[in-house]
Chain A
Amino acid sequence: MEEKLTLFKNRKRFGIEKNIDLIFKNTTLALSSLVAIVLFGIILVVFFQSFESFSRYGLNFLVTSEWNPVKDEYGAFTAIYGTLVTSLLSLLITIPLGVGTAIFITEDFVPKFVREIVGSFVELLAAIPSVVLGLWAIFVMEPFFREFFVFLHKFFGWIPLFSSEPAGRNSLLAIIILVVMLLPIVTSIARDSLNQVPKKLRNASYGIGASRWKTIFSVILPAALSGIMAGVLLALGRAMGETMAVTMIIGNSNVFSWSLLSPGYTISSMLANQFGEADGSQVSSLFYAAFVLMILSLVVNIFAQWLVKKFSLKY
């Protein structure tokens, strides 16, 4: 017995075991560093590939809308404008819709299982691939909205946004399909932040006689605002980078137009359309456009993360 105890006491790790431990640790360290390497790799590669175009056009690239591979003249204004307009307008529609749905899911208007079904329906919508939504948009949504667009142009044609004859594929359709894609993101993040609002805030508000919606507007929503804002920004980043459904329905025209009823372009749909067949300085210009898109979405994403960090521990 005595002998066994001393044996135990003197037991040391073998060198080989220590080494394996160290190797394992350093391997995982290297693998986690790979994330940073890939991220910087993407930024650097896209930047260097766009250098030729960048040095030739400079910032003029951002404000001219000529895109002519024959004359070798490139400017991405139409695509940048299209990216910003489609993503911002779709977000504008999605925010009330998504937050309203999130309130429906977190309040108790209806029994819990109904709310759970609604919640999982919205989440499953996020699982549908964007290319399938694009197919659906072409063959189901576009015919459905055709009459409505004609009506829109007839009666609201004096507004520049509806000033052109409705085209078969146009920016407004892209905005509608973007709403479908952003809805799950905004809803699920808004729901999570509404759920995190402590119950005592609600009870206090009810206790001093506020009605349900007074409580929602004055207490619950302000308390959940930072989370909802972060969700909205994440959705904005997604909207700007969204490619397939938008490419399939936006009409892909580089002719600039204020009207949402005429075909448009976004940076990502330009990349999807032209990258496969491009050569010469067109490739470099496309990389430049990709770089612009990447910077836009990086800024939005980093701001969203900053917002989450800054406000998440308020309650």
Chain B
Amino acid sequence: MNSLYYQKKLSRNVGDKFFTSLSVFCALIAILPLIFVVTYILIKGGAQITPELFTLEPNPPGDDLDAGGINPALIGTLVITTIASIISIPVGVGGGIYLAEYSNGGPFSKFIRFGVNVLAGVPSIIAGVFIYALIVSTKILFGSMYSGFAGGMALSILMLPTVIKTTDEGLKLVPNELRYASLGIGASMYTTILKITLPTAFRSIATGVVLGIARAAGETAPLIFTALFSYYYIVGFEDLFYEMGSLAVLIYNFALEPYDAQNKLAWAASFILVISILTVNIFSRIFAVFTEKTKRV
């Protein structure tokens, strides 16, 4: 009769308990890093946030009293990611359109999809090395060496696979009936794509692309020897072809300085970078859940 009840001391039940607690333990360890990192950034970085931070140039290390602000790096990050987006979004969306709409699963599209995955796995520093060899060392861009433009090119290589993948997958989710209906009333292929399928998939593509941009904004490795770093304000168009600072490289350079003032500036820059990246991520998550719910109705 007793055997019908749950027996705590049975070896299978003891074993199950043990492994369950092990799994819970793993999950606890897994969420700790995010909590610790975000807390420290909020505390250490949040304390440094002042209006001057956004308007001043950083002072060269050595003067321990006043580190200045991060204005050039902030604008530089915006400029470099904009350049990367201008290059990679049209190329990526166009390539994704071909894969999803025109290709019929033949060897070419298989090869390109494979290439996209391989390119996504190329270490980010290799993208920097490539652009260094192609643009920086050859001075091909009007004789300028390190430049914000070269940095943007390097980042665009990292964004390209993300954009193609999200476009490809977003377009594949569009039901075929929409395409048939459009082609059936006499629209040409490109009208169908531009007026029907692309707008239908716009939400999912936009979410993916925005996440890709957020990811690129935090990338450092491709920038350290393409865009380099600059302490000076970005004032005009021609600054694109000179060294350009960015938040990510500022954090890298100033974290390794022995001076406290520069370290604080690195924390402040991390605060701004992490808050904006997390905001984008959390919003796109909420947005995705919201879209799914409205679709079901």
Q: Are B24 and A104 in contact (CB under 8 A)?
A: yes
Tell me whether B124 is interfacial, beta carbon within 8 Å. Answer: yes
The minimal Cβ–Cβ distance linking B29 to chain A, given in whole angstroms, is: 6
Type the 1/0 row for A16-55, where 1 means its CB is closer than 8 Å to any CB of B.
Answer: 0110110011011101111110110110011001000000
Type the 1/0 row for A79-110, where 1 means its CB is closer than 8 Å to any CB of B.
Answer: 00000000000000000111111011101011
The minimal Cβ–Cβ distance linking A79 to chain B, given in whole angstroms, is: 13
Chain A interface helix/strand/loop/mixed:
helix
| The 6 A-B residue pairs with the shortest CB-CB distance in the complex, in nearest-first order | A241-B123, A129-B218, A100-B26, A31-B94, A32-B95, A301-B121
Q: Are A46 and B13 in contact (CB under 8 A)?
A: no
| Nearest CB in chain B to that of A269: its residue | B125
User: A276 to chain B: which residues have CB within 8 Å?
Assistant: 224-225, 228
Cα distance A216–B23 in the bound complex, in angstroms: 12
Cα distance A237–B266 in the bound complex, in angstroms: 28
Q: Are B125 and A38 in contact (CB under 8 A)?
A: no
Which of A120, A183, A293 is within 8 Å of B33, CB to CB?
Answer: A183
Number of interface residues of B (CB under 8 A): 94
Q: Are B274 and A132 in contact (CB under 8 A)?
A: yes
Tell me whether A189 is interfacial, beta carbon within 8 Å. Answer: no
User: B164 to chain A: which residues have CB within 8 Å?
Assistant: 32, 35
Number of interface residues of A (CB under 8 A): 90
Q: A24-B189, A32-B94, A134-B252 are in contact. List 5 more A-B contacts (CB 8 A).
A: A127-B281, A135-B251, A271-B129, A276-B225, A298-B118
Cα distance A136–B33 in the bound complex, in angstroms: 10
Tell me whether A204 is interfacial, beta carbon within 8 Å. Answer: no
Tell me whether B293 is interfacial, beta carbon within 8 Å. Answer: no
The minimal Cβ–Cβ distance linking A157 to chain B, given in whole angstroms, is: 27
Q: How many A-B residue pairs have CB under 8 A?
A: 268
Type the 1/0 row for B182-208, where 1 means its CB is closer than 8 Å to any CB of A.
Answer: 000010111001000000000000000
User: A290 to chain B: which residues have CB within 8 Å?
Assistant: 125-126, 129
Q: Identify which of B122, B161, B266 gathers the most chain A CB atoms within 10 Å of its CB.
A: B122
Tell me whether B4 is interfacial, beta carbon within 8 Å. Answer: no
Binding site for B on A (CB under 8 A): 11, 13, 17-18, 20-21, 24-25, 27-29, 31-36, 38-39, 41-42, 45-46, 49, 96-101, 103-105, 107, 109-110, 118, 120-122, 124-125, 127-136, 138-140, 180, 183, 187, 211-214, 216, 234, 237-238, 240-244, 248, 268, 271-272, 275-276, 283, 286-287, 290, 293-294, 297-298, 300-302, 304-305
Given known contacts A128-B37, A248-B256, A241 and B124 CB-to-CB distance under 8 angstroms: yes
* 13 contacts across the A-B interface (CB closer than 8 A): A24-B190, A31-B91, A32-B98, A35-B116, A36-B112, A97-B29, A127-B278, A128-B37, A136-B270, A243-B123, A275-B224, A297-B123, A301-B117
Cα distance A133–B29 in the bound complex, in angstroms: 16
Interface positions of B from 52 to 82, Cβ below 8 Å from A? none
Which of B38, B117, B126, B278 is within 8 Å of A241, CB to CB?
Answer: B126
Cα distance A136–B97 in the bound complex, in angstroms: 41
| Nearest CB in chain B to that of A109: its residue | B20
| Nearest CB in chain B to that of A28: its residue | B98
Which of A49, A120, A242, A302 is within 8 Å of B133, CB to CB?
Answer: A49
Tell me whether B160 is interfacial, beta carbon within 8 Å. Answer: yes
Cα distance A96–B128 in the bound complex, in angstroms: 33
Cα distance A302–B117 in the bound complex, in angstroms: 9
Q: Are B16 and A212 in contact (CB under 8 A)?
A: yes
User: B180 to chain A: which residues have CB within 8 Å?
Assistant: none
The minimal Cβ–Cβ distance linking B140 to chain A, given in whole angstroms, is: 13
